[in-house]
Amino acid sequence: MIVSDTMPRDTGGSATTVPRARTQGASSLVTEQGRTTIADGVVSKIAGLAAREVEGVYDMGGGTARALGAMRGMVGGDKSVAQGVQVEVGERQAAVDLDLVVEYGAAIPDLAGAVRRNVIVAIERMTGLEVTEVNVSVNDVHLPESPRSREDAGPRESRVQ
């Protein structure tokens, strides 16, 4: 299931407008004393951590990324915080695409808005880059384990002696 929820910030309504995290202007990265360049991986990590912080986000990444992540976990590797995050980083601005797996029961538009806000604030505070857009795509819903499936999985007692 794919639910795409795209909102460039400049067209956002008043209810979804994100407060500006920084007031000193995006030019703090390009100064007369030199330039500050921020690598894609830095922005991905910050975005991944900020998105996972939001309650209701179960996991991140598409099916393939999650399968590869699970395999990497089996061979003892660390799970990448940047899984499910694609970024484009310029000199002053960044754009972010997120793939989410949400918990069953979460209101997806509300959750996407909360994730977007948290990611924008985190990136703008931590890097000084202006975030132009955060596209959230919900790839899957994580279902709670139902009592019935748990019963099926458990050892069955014999009905006869």
| Binding region for another protein (CB under 8 A) | 28-29, 32-39, 41-42, 45-46, 81, 125-128
Q: Within a 10 A sphere around the Cβ of 160, how many other Cβ atoms?
A: 3
Least Å distance, CB 41 to another protein, is: 5
Least Å distance, CB 72 to another protein, is: 15
Please identify, using beta-carbon distances, which residue of 18 and 112 lies nearer to another protein.
Answer: 18
- Bridge-partner residues for 59, per DSSP? 101
Query: Cβ contacts of residue 48 below 8 Å, gap of 6+?
Result: 60, 80, 81, 82, 83, 84, 85
Residue 83 dihedral angles phi and psi, to the nearest 5°:
-60, 130
Least Å distance, CB 77 to another protein, is: 13
Least Å distance, CB 36 to another protein, is: 4
127, 128, 126, 94: which is closest to 24 by C-alpha?
Answer: 128
Q: Which two tokens stand for residue 19?
A: 């407060």
Please identify, using beta-carbon distances, which residue of 42 and 60 lies nearer to another protein.
Answer: 42
Please identify, using beta-carbon distances, which residue of 3 and 26 lies nearer to another protein.
Answer: 26
Please identify, using beta-carbon distances, which residue of 33 and 161 lies nearer to another protein.
Answer: 33
